[in-house]
Structure 1
Amino acid sequence: MKKPTAPGDPTLTFREWLASLDDEHLSRLLLLRPDTVLPLPPGIGPLAARLQLRASVSRALHSLNTTDLLVLEAVAAIGGEFTPVSAPEVVGIISERTQLHGIDGPLPIEVEASIAKLKQYGLLFGEDRFLVVQEAMSALPHSWQLLPDAEPAPDDLADKLAQLSARSTKILQTLALSGGTGVTKDAALDADPTRPIPQLIAQGLLHRVDESTVQLPQTVRNALTGSRSLPLRCPPAESTTSIEVADQAGISAGLEVCRLTRLLIQELGQRPVSTLKGGAVGVRMISRLTKALETTEEDIARLMCLSIAAGLIARGVPEPLPDDDDGGDYYAPTPQADAWLGSSLEDQLRTLLHGWRTSPWAPWLLGTTKDKTKVHLLSREMRDERIPQWRGQLIDALGSLPPGASTAETLTYFRFRHPLTGTALTETTFAELEAEAAWIGAISEGILTSSIRFDTINVPDAVEQLIVQADMTMLAPGPLTPRSQKFVDRVADLESSGLASVYRVTEASIRRALDSGLSGQDIMSRLGELSVMELPQSIGYLVDDVARKHGSLRGGPAMSYLRCDDPSLIVQAVAAIGDAVALRAIAPTVAVAQAPLIQVIKALRAAGFQPIAEDAYGLSLDLAPEPSRVPQPDTRPEATAIDEGRIEAAVAAIRRGDTARDAVASGTRAPASETLSILQAAARAGKTVTLGFVDKHGIAVHRVVRPVTVAGGLIDAIDTTTGDVHRFQVHRITEVIVQ
Structure 2
Amino acid sequence: MRPVVSGSFAEYLAGLDETRLARLLRLRPDVRIEPVPRGFGQLAERLGGAESLAFALRQLTRDGVRTGQAVAALGGEATVRKVARLLGAPEPVVADLVTDLCERGLAWLDGETVRLPDRLAAHWSAEVGDGRPVADVARSVRVEDLRVAAAALGAEAEGLRKPELIARLADALADTPAVARVVAGLPRPARDCLDVLSHGSPGAFWSLPAPRPAGPQRLLAAAGLALNVNGRWEVPREVAVAAWLAEFEPPVLTGPLDLPSAAMSPAEMLATAQAAAQDVLRAVTSVLDTARSKPLAALKKGGVGARERTRLAARLALPAETVLLAIDVAHAAGLLGHTDAGYAPTEAFSRWREEEPSRQWAELATAWFGMEHAPTSREQDDGKEVPPPLPLASGAGMIRRALVRAAAGGRSFDAAGRQLDWFCPLHGYEPDEVGQKVEAVVREGHLLGVLAGDVVTDCGERLAAVADESADDPVAELADRVASLLPEAPCTVVLQSDLTAVVSGQLTVRASRLLGAAAVCETRGTASIWRFTPETVRHALDTGWNAESLRQELAVLSDRPLPQPLDYLIADVSRRHGQVRVRGLRSCVLADEATVTEILHTRRLGKLHLARLAPTVLSSPYELDNVLAALRAAGFAPVAEDAEGAVIIEENAEHEAAASRRAGPGATRDRVSATNLAARLLADPEGETVSDGGPGETFEQLAELNPRLSAAELALLADALDQERDVAIVYRDKNGTRTRRAIQPRVLFGRWLESWCYLRNGDRDFTVANIESVAPA
Q: TM-score band (shorter)?
A: 0.5 to 0.7
**What's 2:263 paired with?**
240
CA-to-partner distance for each residue in 1:284-333, whole Å, 9 max, x for gaps?
Answer: 54555445434455544444434433444433345xxxxxxxxxxx4344
**What's 1:112 paired with?**
95
Shift of 1:465: 3.4
**What's 1:331 paired with?**
343
Instruction: Provide the C-alpha distance between the structure 1 equivalents of 2:24 and 2:584, rounded to a whole number of angstroms.
Output: 77
Shift of 1:654: 1.4
**Correspondence for 2:639 among 613, 629, 640:** 613
CA contact (8 A) 1:180 1:221 kept: no
**Correspondence for 1:435 among 443, 447, 452:** 443
Shift of 1:644: 0.9
**Correspondence for 2:404 among 398, 405, 410:** 398
User: Secondary structure of the equivalent of 1:654?
Assistant: coil
Shift of 1:134: 5.1
Instruction: Provide the C-alpha distance between the structure 1 equivalents of 2:269 and 2:182, rounded to a whole number of angstroms.
Output: 45
Instruction: Provide the C-alpha distance between the structure 2 equivalents of 1:39 and 1:636, rounded to a whole number of angstroms.
Output: 13
CA contact (8 A) 1:584 1:592 kept: yes
User: Secondary structure of the equivalent of 1:279?
Assistant: coil
**What's 2:505 paired with?**
478
CA-to-partner distance for each residue in 1:187-242, whole Å, 9 max, x for gaps?
Answer: 9xxx966445667999xxx994667548796799799xxxxx99753452523335
What is the correspondence of 1:77-116 to structure 2 with a 5 Å cutoff? 79=74, 81-83=75-77, 85-87=79-81, 90-95=83-88, 110-116=93-99
CA-to-partner distance for each residue in 1:66-89, whole Å, 9 max, x for gaps?
Answer: 222233334455x3x2225344x5
State whether structure 2 residue 382 is matched by structure 1 residue 371.
Answer: yes
What is the correspondence of 1:410-429 to structure 2 with a 5 Å cutoff? 410-412=416-418, 415-421=421-427, 426-427=433-434, 428-429=436-437
Structure 2 counterpart of 1:626, one-letter code: A
Instruction: Provide the C-alpha distance between the structure 1 equivalents of 2:499 and 2:253, rounded to a whole number of angstroms.
Output: 56
What is the correspondence of 1:103-142 to structure 2 with a 5 Å cutoff? 110-126=93-109, 129-133=112-116, 135=118, 136-140=120-124
Note closer, same or farther for the CA distance 1:194–1:447 as it changes in structure 2 (3 Å cut). same
Structure 2 counterpart of 1:407, one-letter code: F
Q: How many residues align?
A: 598
Structure 2 counterpart of 1:82, one-letter code: G
**Correspondence for 2:65 among 66, 69, 74:** 69
Structure 2 counterpart of 1:309, one-letter code: A
**What's 2:685 paired with?**
654
CA-to-partner distance for each residue in 1:93-131, whole Å, 9 max, x for gaps?
Answer: 5446xxxxxxxxxx7654332132233345444488332
Shift of 1:628: 3.9
**What's 1:7 paired with?**
none
Note closer, same or farther for the CA distance 1:301–1:520 as it changes in structure 2 (3 Å cut). same
Identity among equivalent pairs (%) = 21
Shift of 1:431: 3.6
Shift of 1:580: 3.2
**What's 2:392 paired with?**
384
**What's 2:671 paired with?**
640
Instruction: Provide the C-alpha distance between the structure 2 equivalents of 1:408 and 1:23, rounded to a whole number of angstroms.
Output: 40
CA contact (8 A) 2:493 2:502 kept: yes
CA contact (8 A) 2:577 2:638 kept: yes
Note closer, same or farther for the CA distance 1:627–1:364 as it changes in structure 2 (3 Å cut). same
CA contact (8 A) 1:40 1:650 kept: no
Instruction: Provide the C-alpha distance between the structure 2 equivalents of 1:566 and 1:494, rounded to a whole number of angstroms.
Output: 37
CA contact (8 A) 1:357 1:392 kept: no
Shift of 1:651: 1.6
Structure 1 counterpart of 2:397, one-letter code: R
What is the correspondence of 1:531-610 to structure 2 with a 5 Å cutoff? 539=565, 543=569, 547=573, 551=577, 554-555=580-581, 557=583, 559=585, 561-563=589-591, 567=595, 570-571=598-599, 575-577=603-605, 580=608, 582=610, 584=612, 586-587=614-615, 591=618, 598-605=625-632, 607-610=633-636
Note closer, same or farther for the CA distance 1:18–1:295 as it changes in structure 2 (3 Å cut). closer
User: Secondary structure of the equivalent of 1:113?
Assistant: helix
**What's 2:456 paired with?**
447
**What's 2:414 paired with?**
408
**What's 1:676 paired with?**
none
Note closer, same or farther for the CA distance 1:471–1:82 as it changes in structure 2 (3 Å cut). same
Instruction: Provide the C-alpha distance between the structure 2 equivalents of 1:40 and 1:624, rounded to a whole number of angstroms.
Output: 48
Structure 1 counterpart of 2:639, one-letter code: A
CA contact (8 A) 1:64 1:417 kept: yes
CA contact (8 A) 2:284 2:330 kept: yes
Instruction: Provide the C-alpha distance between the structure 1 equivalents of 2:42 and 2:490, rounded to a whole number of angstroms.
Output: 61
User: Secondary structure of the equivalent of 1:67?
Assistant: helix
Instruction: Provide the C-alpha distance between the structure 1 equivalents of 2:259 and 2:311, rounded to a whole number of angstroms.
Output: 47
Instruction: Provide the C-alpha distance between the structure 1 equivalents of 2:594 and 2:487, rounded to a whole number of angstroms.
Output: 51
User: Secondary structure of the equivalent of 2:414?
Assistant: coil
**What's 2:653 paired with?**
626
Structure 2 counterpart of 1:384, one-letter code: L
**What's 2:328 paired with?**
305
State whether structure 2 residue 282 is matched by structure 1 residue 259.
Answer: yes
Instruction: Provide the C-alpha distance between the structure 1 equivalents of 2:126 and 2:551, rounded to a whole number of angstroms.
Output: 71
Shift of 1:640: 0.5
Instruction: Provide the C-alpha distance between the structure 2 equivalents of 1:486 and 1:534, rounded to a whole number of angstroms.
Output: 20
Higher relative contact order structure (alpha carbons within 8 Å, sequence separation ≥ 6): 2
Shift of 1:653: 1.4
User: Secondary structure of the equivalent of 2:122?
Assistant: coil
Residue ranges of structure 2 left out of the alignment (5+ in a row): 1-5, 130-175, 465-477, 697-777
Note closer, same or farther for the CA distance 1:201–1:444 as it changes in structure 2 (3 Å cut). farther
CA contact (8 A) 1:74 1:90 kept: yes
Instruction: Provide the C-alpha distance between the structure 2 equivalents of 1:207 and 1:296, rounded to a whole number of angstroms.
Output: 63
Note closer, same or farther for the CA distance 1:266–1:394 as it changes in structure 2 (3 Å cut). closer
**What's 1:143 paired with?**
127
Note closer, same or farther for the CA distance 1:234–1:283 as it changes in structure 2 (3 Å cut). closer
CA-to-partner distance for each residue in 1:156-206, whole Å, 9 max, x for gaps?
Answer: x9xx98xxxxxx5xx76677789778977999xxx966445667999xxx9
**What's 1:293 paired with?**
316
CA-to-partner distance for each residue in 1:29-70, whole Å, 9 max, x for gaps?
Answer: 455456678877777677667766666555543432222223
Shift of 1:447: 1.6
Instruction: Provide the C-alpha distance between the structure 2 equivalents of 1:600 and 1:608, rounded to a whole number of angstroms.
Output: 11
User: Secondary structure of the equivalent of 2:181?
Assistant: coil
Shift of 1:637: 0.7
Note closer, same or farther for the CA distance 1:475–1:36 as it changes in structure 2 (3 Å cut). closer
User: Secondary structure of the equivalent of 1:131?
Assistant: strand
User: Secondary structure of the equivalent of 2:629?
Assistant: helix
CA contact (8 A) 1:18 1:48 kept: yes
Which moves more between the two structures, 235-244 or 541-550? 541-550
Instruction: Provide the C-alpha distance between the structure 1 equivalents of 2:263 and 2:619, rounded to a whole number of angstroms.
Output: 70
Note closer, same or farther for the CA distance 1:562–1:535 as it changes in structure 2 (3 Å cut). same
CA-to-partner distance for each residue in 1:252-306, whole Å, 9 max, x for gaps?
Answer: 4444344344444444444445544433555654555445434455544444434
Note closer, same or farther for the CA distance 1:346–1:95 as it changes in structure 2 (3 Å cut). same
Structure 2 counterpart of 1:649, one-letter code: R
Instruction: Provide the C-alpha distance between the structure 1 equivalents of 2:336 and 2:667, rounded to a whole number of angstroms.
Output: 16
User: Secondary structure of the equivalent of 1:118?
Assistant: helix
**What's 2:723 paired with?**
none
What is the correspondence of 1:197-212 to structure 2 with a 5 Å cutoff? 208=225, 212=233
Structure 2 counterpart of 1:611, one-letter code: A
